[in-house]
Amino acid sequence: MGRPDVTTATALPPSLVDRLTTLQRHAARGLTAVLAEDGCTLDQWRVLRALGDGEGHTMGGLAQGLQVAAPTLTRVTDTLADAALVYRRQTGEDRRRVLLHLSRQGRRRLDGLEALVAAHEAALLASPPWAAAAAELTGLLAQDGHAGTR
């Protein structure tokens, strides 16, 4: 058999999605470790945080907003409910519709977790590799014409 044609490799341009994914995974891995030391998972913190707005949320709305699969969200919210950090309440107009709420104990737990998260994020943002990545992302956004848009 002959050798396949070898083409000269050219570097691909940087990809915004690739860099965002890599940075997200790095940041989440570090935060996961910080939260685990306090007996919390990343998904639990994210659910508590979403409920921290004081509004009741449906499971479907949470799943969509947090981009978490429904079975995973059910497992997470069951764990939080067992720990009395969240509670479920039927709405008055449609008893089949159930909203998830943050309990007082859940609010205290969230406040403590937010302090840990803030410290982690501050350390992350102060690190030279993260600053370089932020500059790279700014450049990628400017190239794609997204800089300054929301």
Q: For 110-133, write each residue's pLDDT tens digit.
A: 999 999 999 999 998 899 988 888
Confidence of residue 96 (pLDDT cuts 50, 70, 90): confident
Does residue 99 have a pLDDT over 80?
yes
DSSP 3-state assignment of 40? Answer: coil
Does residue 102 have a pLDDT over 70?
yes
For 132-150, what is each residue's pLDDT tens digit? 888 888 888 887 555 444 4
Mean pLDDT value of segment 41-68 = 96
Contact between residue 136 and residue 15 where contact means Cβ atoms under 8 Å apart: no
Q: What is the amino acid identity at position 129?
A: P
Contact between residue 105 and residue 85 where contact means Cβ atoms under 8 Å apart: yes
Q: What is the amino acid identity at position 108?
A: R
Which CATH class name applies to 39-130?
Answer: mainly alpha
Give me 119's structure tokens: 């410290």
Please state, rounded to an integer, the average pLDDT across all residues of the chain. 88
Cα end-to-end distance, the chain, whole Å: 54
